[in-house]
Structure 1
Amino acid sequence: MTPEDARKLFAGPCDFSLGVVRMEDLPEADLPEVAFAGRSNVGKSSLLNALTGRKALARTSNTPGRTRELNFFDLGGQLRLVDLPGYGYARASRSDVESWTGLTLDYLSGRPNLRRVCVLIDSRHGLKPVDATTMDTLDVAAVPYQIVLTKSDKIKPPAAKAVTAAVAEAIAKRPAAHPDVLLTSSEKNLGLAELRTELGSLTDS
């Protein structure tokens, strides 16, 4: 898919389909899916909104742990975007956190039409042990994933270059990791065209 085709795809219809709290309620596996995973408050919802040029497609919040379902969005009948609950800190009971963490892991390891997982990392902080746990799950399940660094507008270019290189080195030997680390900013629209093209190409496979 060309960058222009990807731009048109993400600028077209994109509608919320459903929120899922149980594996048995997942939609039919009839479209390729891209899931967005990351620590709480890493900017998943903001990135989804920026990719699709909308302000409120996905709910954003300054409160970590706001997303507590698997939220599915239909992108023009060609691709399904999935906003996953953030892992790590959340203002919720331990049982609730365990419930949606278990649901997320089950989805990531058992969804046949899941083409890629975008693992979002705050560029100010780099990889954390909890991110490695998620990548371990994806490596074992042989689910392709790509690291997307968020909030790059919050750091200076030399620091952005350094964290990109450090993350690329850290994932170099991981079997399911995409080798290209994308540096993005939802506020400044940095790296979004490249990400749209990457994800749009999955509709061709």
Structure 2
Amino acid sequence: MTWQDDPTVFTEAQIEDGRLLFASECGFFFGAQKLDQLPPLAGPEIAFAGRSNVGKSSLINALTGRKSLARASSEPGRTKQLNFFDLGGRLALVDMPGYGFAKAAKAIKEEWQTMMFAYLRGRPTLARVFLLLDARIELKQADRDVMDMLDRAAVLFQIVLTKADAVGPTKLAAKSAEVSAAIAKHAAAYPHLAVTSSETGAGIESLRAEIARLIPALGTEGKPG
């Protein structure tokens, strides 16, 4: 199978596009705890979602080649705002609050879902949501609920398996099969998984290339923020 047949295989030029994109200057420019605090619509955005402690901050830092661009809270579920990062004036990276935190009150969980759904549904510049799942852990009901929410919001999402270095090939293949079967039931799901390790860098190059080729779909005029 060649790259023309398999969208998960990238040419050298596409890999280079991804490298150049994420070699751009990147910095935090906006934080929103409420919908009326969102920055004005500008260039394309991609968002990263996932359970608390799934490795969102580590993945964003690995993609951008920075050690502390995105910071994980020491207390799961503590971060409750959308954090926007400007990547070279071409793309906004949106770090969404973690979900599924066990200690959170029911009202907080409902508030998270309400705000996130409204953001997802009302953001026409949102090119894709990358939904992170821990390769070591079975699919949780909270993950399935978020997939359902993304379907309802009609937002294209792609699964990214994180911490792939922590499981062996057999378990990783089983996890990939489990997730592939789950996303086959979702109309808004991109059918191909990204498998990554922020620790070893596995899959980061390909994910950069995947993200880079999303930009022409929405255009590159206008600088985030």
TM-score w.r.t. structure 2 length? 0.86
Listed as ranges, the gaps of 5+ residues in structure 2 are: 1-12, 218-225
Higher Cα radius of gyration: 2
Contact 2:117 2:153 in 1 (8 A): no
CA distance in 1, matches of 2:70, 2:78: 11
Task: State the distance in 1 between where 2:174 and 2:104 align.
Answer: 35
Aligned to 2:147: 135
Number of aligned residues = 205
Q: 1:167 aligns with which of 168, 179, 182?
A: 179
Query: Equivalents in 2 of 1:184, 1:133: separation in Å?
Result: 23
Partner of 2:8: none
Give the Cα–Cα distance (whole angstroms) in 2 for the partners of residues 191 and 126 of structure 1: 21
Partner of residue 8, structure 1: 20
Aligned to 1:107: 119
Q: Separation in 2 of the partners of 1:188 and 1:66?
A: 27
Instruction: Deviation per CA, 1:90-120: give whole Å up to 9, x if none.
Output: 5555544443332222112221111100010
Aligned 8 A contact 2:131 2:158 in 1: yes
1:122 equivalent in structure 2: 134
2: distance between equivalents of 1:172 and 1:101?
Answer: 23
Change (3 A) 1:90 1:75: farther
How far apart in 2 are the matches of 1:52 and 1:90?
Answer: 30
Determine if contact 2:43/2:91 at 8 Å carries over to the other structure: yes
Identity of aligned residues (%): 53
Partners of 1:3 and 1:108 in 2: CA distance: 28
Residue in structure 2 matched with residue 189 of structure 1 by the alignment: 201
Matches within 5 A, 1:1-205: 2-89=14-101, 91-92=103-104, 94-205=106-217
Amino acid of the structure 2 residue aligned with 1:117: V
Unaligned runs of 5+ in 1: none
Distance 2:207 2:133 in 1: 14
Q: Deviations over 1:124-164 (max 9, x none)?
A: 11321111111111112211000000111111111111111
